[in-house]
C-alpha cells in the first residue's frame, strides 16, 4: 500500500528543462508542481471530506444529546440502528478516509515534491557556467539547494493539511450554527473578521522576515564552509580569531533577524488567545441565552460549545500553519535567488557535437575583460597547427588562464571567436568540446571519493587494466597501493578526502595526470602540470608528459621555463597581448621579455613581477 502511494509521482521523470526559470514565486512553484496536478486535486477533495466529517461529528454529538432526553428503551428502539451506524462510521469509515488523506499527503506529496525540486534545482545549477560559481560561496549555493525543497514541500503540505481543511471547517461551522439558529452565526462571523485581520497583519510581516532570516542563515553557511574549506590557510596564518569574528558578524545578523521573526509570533499568540476568549464567550453565551429563552435545545448548546472549543483549539494550529506556510514561502523566495537564475552560457538550439578531425586551433581577434576596463585578453589572434606544441608564459595577470578558460568555453568571449577544425566553439555542444580537451591544472583538486573514482572520471568506461596502465605512466601506481583511509579502505578504494586533502600535493598531481592520460583527448592543456612535483618525480614524469603530447595539439602554461623550452613554439604574453613568439633559441636571441625571464629565473622559475621590471 505504501509503495503504491509513494510511486504515484516519479520525481526523476522527464521534463522540459528551461534555461530561464520563472522568476516570480507562484509561477516558480506551479512550474515544479506540474507532475502533481492530479494528486493536488485528490488531496483537496480529501481535505474537504475530512473537514466535513469533523463538523458532522459535532452535529451528531448534539443530536445524541437531544435524543437522550427520552426514555432509554424508547430511545434505543427509535434510534438504536442509527447509533450503531454512527459507531460503525466512526470506527471504520472515518479512519479509512483519514488514512487516504494522510497517505496522499505524507507518502505521495511530501517525499516526492521536495525530491523533485532538489533534483531539478541541482540539475539546473550544475548547468551554470564556471564564472557563475566563481561569483558566489559554494556553501551558500549548497545551502539553498538543500533548504528550498523541504520548505516548498512544507508549504504545499500546509495548503492541504491546514489551509484547505480549515477553510472547509469554518464554512461547515457556519452552516452548522446557521441550521441550529442563524443568530449563532453572527458572533462567529464577527470573530472571523477579527481573526482574518490578525492573519493578514501576521503574514504580511512573516514572509519578508522569514526570507531575511533564511538569507542570513545562508550567509552563515557560506562563511563557515569558506573557513573550513580553507582550513590550512586559517591555521597557517593563525587567523582563528579573525575567522571567528568573520563568522560572528553573520551569526549575530541571523540572531537579530530571527528575534524579529519571533516577536511577530509572540504578538500573534497573545492577540489570538484574546480573540479565542471572545469567541467562546460570545457563541456559547448566546447559545445559553437562547436556551434560557426556550429558543434552543440542549443539543444546540452542546454542539455550539463543542464547536467553539474545537475552533479555540484549532485557531492556534491554523495560525501557526498559515505563518509556517508564508515563512516557508520566504525560504523558497530566498532559495530562488540561486536556483531560479537563468543559464546564460548555453548551447545554441541547433548546436552539433564537435567534429574533431585534426586539432587545429584558430583564435581570431579574441578579447575578454570580465566586464571590466582592464585585465583578461585584448584582441589576440593566433593559429595553432594540428599536433603543434605551444608553450605559454607571462607574468601573473597577463591573460594566460583567461585564454584557457575561453578555449574550454567556461566563458563566452566579449568579442572575437575561437575555431577548432574550422568550427566556432560557441556553436558546438559544450560537452563535446570539453570531451575533446584534456587538462591538467595547477590546482589539482580531487573529488571526495575513492582514488579509482577520481581516475575513472577521465573515462568512466575504461577497464581496470587501462586505469592501472595510466597510473603507472603517471608514476602513481606504487603510492596508491600503499594508501589506507581511516575506514580501512586501501589502495584504489581509499577515499582521498575533500579536494584530495589526504594526499600530498605531488600525489594529487599524479592522480590528476593519470586521469588525463586515461582520457586521452586529442587537445591537451597543461597549466603548471608539474608545479606540485619535486625535482626527482618531475624528472621521472617528464618522459610521460612528452609521451602524452605525442600526436596531440598542446598548449602548456609554465613558470618553470625548462618544462616548455623544447616546445615547437613559445608565446610570451603581457597585459592581455602576445608580445613575443618563436622557438626557445630564437626568443633568447631577441633579447626581449623571454630572454629576461630566462636570465633572471632562479631554480627554473620566472622571476617575480618586481624583479622582472628592474
Render pLDDT for 505-516 as a digit per residue (tens, 0 to 9): 778 888 888 999
CA atoms within 13 Å, Cβ hemisphere of 592: 17
How many other CB atoms are found less than 10 A from the CB of residue 79? 17
Domain range spanning residue 465? 447-520
- Which of 300, 315, 337 delimits the end of a domain? 337
How many other CB atoms are found less than 10 A from the CB of residue 326? 21
Is residue 206 assigned to a domain? yes
H or E stretch covering 571? strand 569-574
Query: C-alpha cell of 200?
Result: 493578514
Asked whether 579 and 378 are in contact (CB, 8 A), the reply is no
Asked whether 587 and 408 are in contact (CB, 8 A), the reply is no
Distance between CA atoms of residues 550 and 597, nearest Å = 27
Query: What percentage of residues in the chain have a pLDDT greater than 70?
Result: 93
Nearest residue to 332 (alpha-carbon basis) of 601, 598, 27, 600 = 27
Distance between CA atoms of residues 126 and 280, nearest Å = 55
Query: C-alpha cell of 262?
Result: 519571533
Residue 466 confidence (pLDDT): 94
How many other CB atoms are found less than 10 A from the CB of residue 226? 17
Is residue 607 assigned to a domain? no
H or E stretch covering 407? helix 400-407
Judge if 309 and 458 occupy the same domain: no
Give the phi and the psi of residue 245 in degrees, each rounded to 5: -65, -40
Is residue 157 assigned to a domain? yes
- Which of 337, 361, 385 delimits the end of a domain? 337
Question: What CATH number is given to the structural domain containing 486?
Answer: 3.40.50.300
Distance between CA atoms of residues 261 and 250, nearest Å = 17
Please tell me which residue, 108 or 217, carries the higher pLDDT value: 108
pLDDT digits (tens, 9 = 90+) for 542-596: 777 777 788 889 998 877 777 788 889 999 988 889 999 999 889 888 888 888 8
Q: Is the pLDDT of residue 188 over 80?
A: no
In the structure, how many helices (H) and strands (E) does the chain have?
Answer: 23, 10
Residues sharing a CB contact under 8 Å with residue 231, sequence separation 6 or more, in sequence order: none
Is residue 587 assigned to a domain? no
How many other CB atoms are found less than 10 A from the CB of residue 325? 21
For residues 350-366, average pLDDT: 91
Residues sharing a CB contact under 8 Å with residue 398, sequence separation 6 or more, in sequence order: 573, 574, 575, 576
Judge if 79 and 204 occupy the same domain: yes
pLDDT digits (tens, 9 = 90+) for 134-162: 888 777 888 888 888 888 888 888 888 77
Distance between CA atoms of residues 325 and 586, nearest Å = 72
pLDDT digits (tens, 9 = 90+) for 359-411: 999 999 999 888 776 678 888 999 999 999 999 988 888 888 889 889 999 88
Is residue 377 assigned to a domain? no
Is residue 586 assigned to a domain? no
Distance between CA atoms of residues 398 and 609, nearest Å = 11
Cα distances (Å, whole numbers) of residue 342 to 25, 135, 252, 346, 426: 15, 15, 32, 10, 18
pLDDT range class, residue 51, cuts 50, 70, 90 = confident
Distance between CA atoms of residues 231 and 248, nearest Å = 17
Is residue 547 assigned to a domain? no
Judge if 32 and 165 occupy the same domain: yes
- Which of 472, 492, 520 delimits the end of a domain? 520
Q: Is the pLDDT of residue 418 over 90?
A: yes
Q: Is the pLDDT of residue 206 over 60?
A: yes
Nearest residue to 176 (alpha-carbon basis) of 63, 69, 265 = 63
Radius of gyration of the chain (CA): 35
Residue 463 confidence (pLDDT): 93
Is residue 176 assigned to a domain? yes
Judge if 467 and 325 occupy the same domain: no
The residues that bridge with 555 in the sheet, in sequence order, are 390, 525
Number of domains in the chain: 2
Please tell me whether residue 7 adopts helix, strand or coil conformation.
Answer: coil
Q: Is 579 exposed, middle or buried (0-12, 13-18, 19+ CB in 10 A)?
A: middle
Residue 280 confidence (pLDDT): 80
Question: What CATH number is given to the structural domain containing 89?
Answer: 1.20.1560.10
For residues 13-29, average pLDDT: 88
Judge if 193 and 321 occupy the same domain: yes
pLDDT range class, residue 426, cuts 50, 70, 90 = very high
Residue 427 confidence (pLDDT): 93
Distance between CA atoms of residues 123 and 16, nearest Å = 12
Q: Is the pLDDT of residue 174 over 70?
A: yes
Nearest residue to 433 (alpha-carbon basis) of 356, 374, 510, 498 = 356
Distance between CA atoms of residues 514 and 496, nearest Å = 15
Residue 611 confidence (pLDDT): 39
Asked whether 13 and 32 are in contact (CB, 8 A), the reply is no
Distance between CA atoms of residues 47 and 137, nearest Å = 42
Q: Is the pLDDT of residue 253 over 50?
A: yes
Give the phi and the psi of residue 524 in degrees, each rounded to 5: -125, 130
Give the phi and the psi of residue 118 in degrees, each rounded to 5: -60, -45
Residue 136 confidence (pLDDT): 80
Query: C-alpha cell of 75?
Result: 430511545
Amino acid at each position: 500500500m505504501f509503495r503504491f502511494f509513494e510511486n504515484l509521482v516519479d520525481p526523476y521523470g522527464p521534463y522540459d528543462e528551461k534555461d530561464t526559470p520563472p522568476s516570480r514565486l507562484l509561477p516558480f512553484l506551479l512550474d515544479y508542481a506540474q507532475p502533481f496536478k492530479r494528486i493536488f486535486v485528490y488531496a483537496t477533495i480529501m481535505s474537504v471530506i475530512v473537514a466535513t466529517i469533523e463538523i458532522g461529528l459535532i452535529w451528531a454529538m448534539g443530536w445524541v444529546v437531544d435524543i437522550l432526553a427520552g426514555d432509554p428503551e424508547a430511545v434505543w428502539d427509535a434510534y438504536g440502528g442509527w447509533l450503531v451506524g454512527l459507531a460503525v462510521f466512526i470506527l471504520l469509515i472515518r479512519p479509512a478516509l483519514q488514512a487516504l488523506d494522510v497517505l496522499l499527503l505524507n507518502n505521495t506529496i511530501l517525499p516526492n515534491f521536495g525530491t523533485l525540486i532538489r533534483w531539478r534545482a541541482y540539475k539546473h545549477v550544475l548547468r551554470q557556467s564556471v564564472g557563475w560559481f566563481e561569483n558566489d560561496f559554494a556553501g551558500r549555493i549548497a545551502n539553498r539547494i538543500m533548504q528550498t525543497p523541504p520548505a516548498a514541500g512544507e508549504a504545499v503540505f500546509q495548503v492541504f493539511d491546514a489551509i484547505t481543511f480549515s477553510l472547509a471547517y469554518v464554512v461547515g461551522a457556519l452552516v452548522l450554527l446557521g441550521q441550529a439558529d442563524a443568530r449563532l452565526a453572527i458572533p462567529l462571523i464577527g470573530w472571523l473578521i477579527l481573526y482574518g485581520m490578525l492573519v493578514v497583519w501576521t503574514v504580511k510581516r512573516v514572509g519578508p522576515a522569514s526570507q531575511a532570516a533564511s538569507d542570513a542563515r545562508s550567509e552563515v553557511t557560506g562563511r563557515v564552509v569558506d573557513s573550513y574549506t580553507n582550513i590550512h590557510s586559517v591555521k597557517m596564518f593563525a587567523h582563528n580569531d579573525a575567522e571567528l569574528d568573520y563568522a560572528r558578524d553573520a551569526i549575530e545578523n541571523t540572531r537579530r533577524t530571527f528575534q524579529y521573526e519571533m516577536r511577530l509570533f509572540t504578538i500573534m499568540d497573545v492577540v489570538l488567545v484574546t480573540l479565542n476568549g471572545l469567541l467562546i464567550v460570545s457563541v456559547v453565551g448566546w447559545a445559553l441565552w437562547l436556551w434560557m429563552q426556550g429558543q434552543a435545545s440542549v443539543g444546540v448548546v452542546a454542539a455550539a460549545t463543542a464547536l467553539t472549543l474545537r475552533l479555540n483549539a484549532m485557531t492556534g494550529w491554523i495560525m501557526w500553519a498559515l505563518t509556517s506556510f508564508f515563512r516557508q514561502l520566504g525560504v523558497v523566495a530566498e532559495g530562488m535567488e540561486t536556483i531560479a537564475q537563468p543559464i546564460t552560457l548555453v548551447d545554441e538550439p541547433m548546436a552539433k557535437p564537435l567534429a574533431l578531425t585534426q586539432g587545429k586551433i584558430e583564435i581570431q581577434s579574441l578579447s575578454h575583460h570580465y566586464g571590466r576596463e582592464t585585465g583578461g585578453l585584448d584582441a589576440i589572434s593566433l593559429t595553432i597547427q594540428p599536433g603543434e606544441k605551444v608553450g605559454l608564459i607571462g607574468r601573473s595577470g597577463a591573460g594566460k588562464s583567461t585564454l584557457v578558460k575561453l578555449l574550454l568555453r567556461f566563458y563566452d568571449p566579449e568579442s572575437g571567436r575561437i575555431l577548432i577544425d574550422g568550427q566556432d566553439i560557441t556553436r558546438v555542444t559544450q560537452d563535446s568540446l570539453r570531451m575533446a580537451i584534456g587538462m591538467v591544472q595547477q590546482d589539482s583538486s580531487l573529488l571526495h571519493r575513492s582514488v579509482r573514482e577520481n581516475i575513472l572520471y577521465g573515462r568512466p568506461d575504461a577497464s581496470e587494466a587501462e586505469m592501472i596502465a595510466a597510473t603507472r605512466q603517471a608514476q602513481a601506481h606504487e603510492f596508491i597501493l600503499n594508501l589506507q583511509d581511516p575506514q580501512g579502505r586501501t589502495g584504489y578504494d581509499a577515499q582521498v578526502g575533500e579536494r584530495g586533502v589526504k594526499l600530498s600535493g605531488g600525489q594529487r598531481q599524479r592522480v590528476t595526470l593519470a586521469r588525463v592520460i586515461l582520457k586521452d583527448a586529442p587537445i591537451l592543456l597543461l597549466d603548471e602540470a608539474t608545479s606540485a612535483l619535486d625535482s626527482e618525480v618531475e624528472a621521472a614524469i617528464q618522459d610521460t608528459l612528452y609521451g602524452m603530447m605525442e600526436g596531440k595539439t598542446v598548449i602548456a602554461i609554465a613558470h618553470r621555463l625548462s618544462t616548455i623550452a623544447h616546445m615547437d613554439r613559445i608565446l610570451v604574453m603581457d597585459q592581455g597581448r602576445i608580445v613575443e613568439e618563436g622557438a626557445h633559441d630564437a626568443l633568447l636571441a631577441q633579447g626581449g621579455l623571454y630572454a629576461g625571464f630566462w636570465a633572471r629565473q632562479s631554480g627554473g622559475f620566472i622571476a617575480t613581477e618586481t624583479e622582472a621590471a628592474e
